[in-house]
Amino acid sequence: MATLRKYIIAGLLVWLPFAATIVIVKFLIDLMDKTVLLLPPEWQPANLLGFSIPGFGVIIALSILLLTGMLAANLFGRRFVEMWERILNRIPLVRSIYSSVKQISSTIFDPSGKSFRKVVLLEYPRKGLWSIGFLTNDSMGDELCSVDDTLVSVFIPTTPNPTSGFIIMTRKDEITELNMNVEEAFKFVISMGVIIPDNGTLEELKQNKVAQSSADS
């Protein structure tokens, strides 16, 4: 019975990641395939050829992103984007949504930005308990700096869904920067702590605990 259970678990370890990958990839492809609907009806493969082409929408989506990026990278494109943004900023509800989404996406995807580039360790939610977080801002506004000029903001994700979490403002000397990249940290959170990066993270935690104990004594 133990041998049978061992083989079943081994089979699950092989097929579960594979099946999950297929489901996620299929979901993304099906989602991007909907961009075919942007074409005129007579140009859509189902009407033009008599049958649909799986993945054709992915090509269209990538082409749109590529052309938009090329357009936005030159002077004419930037002026067009600025004109479009001025129009959106005149619409009350759309203005709030658009500006918020743009600010968040610019912060996350900007290659020169520092947000979500550093993984830190924070003693949270109480003393003796540690949480992994992402440094989102190391330079707070004037109003917050008037309280404490060493405040930084840290996003602490929940598990197994790291898209939700908490924003904690704490002093810079209360966080420990880890030798762990963002991808490894997300794997650690999503796996509920099962996948531990072998890059000295635990050793850093031990050193941090020793330093904390020395400071308390």
Q: pLDDT (tens digit, 9 = 90+) per residue, 14-42?
A: 888 888 889 888 888 888 888 887 778 87
C-alpha 78/C-alpha 69 separation (Å) is: 10
Model confidence band, residue 206 (pLDDT cutoffs 50, 70, 90): low
The token pair that represents 71 in the structure block: 């357009």
The pLDDT of residue 152: 87
| Contact indicator for 135, 120 with CB cutoff of 8 Å | yes
Which of 36-41's residues contact partners 24+ apart within 8 Å by CB, and which partners?
36/60
C-alpha 125/C-alpha 168 separation (Å) is: 10
Give the other-Cβ count within 10 Å of 209's Cβ: 14
Instruction: Give the per-residue SS3 of the chain.
Output: CHHHHHHHHHHHHHHHHHHHHHHHHHHHHHHHHHHHHHCCHHHCHHHHCCCCCCCHHHHHHHHHHHHHHHHHCCHHHHHHHHHHHHHHCCCHHHHHHHHHHHHHHHHHHCCCCCCCCEEEEEECCCCCCEEEEEEEECCCCHHHHCCCCCEEEEEEECCCCCCCEEEEEEEHHHEEECCCCHHHHHHHHHCCCCCCCCCCHHHHHHHHHHHHHHHHC
C-alpha 28/C-alpha 200 separation (Å) is: 35
Which of the given ranges, 68-72, 101-105, 207-211, has the highest pLDDT on average? 68-72
Model confidence band, residue 2 (pLDDT cutoffs 50, 70, 90): confident
The pLDDT of residue 151: 84
CA atoms within 13 A of residue 31's CA, in its CB half-sphere: 6
Q: pLDDT (tens digit, 9 = 90+) per residue, 155-190?
A: 998 888 887 888 888 888 888 888 888 888 888 888
The pLDDT of residue 147: 66
Of residues 115 and 66, more confidence is placed in 66
Model confidence band, residue 201 (pLDDT cutoffs 50, 70, 90): low
The pLDDT of residue 109: 67
The pLDDT of residue 198: 67
**Share of residues in the chain with pLDDT > 70 (%):** 81
pTM over 0.75? The answer is no
Domains and CATH numbers, the chain: 118-216 (2.30.30)
The pLDDT of residue 111: 61
Averaged pLDDT of the chain = 79
| Contact indicator for 80, 70 with CB cutoff of 8 Å | no
Q: Is the pLDDT of residue 76 over 70?
A: yes
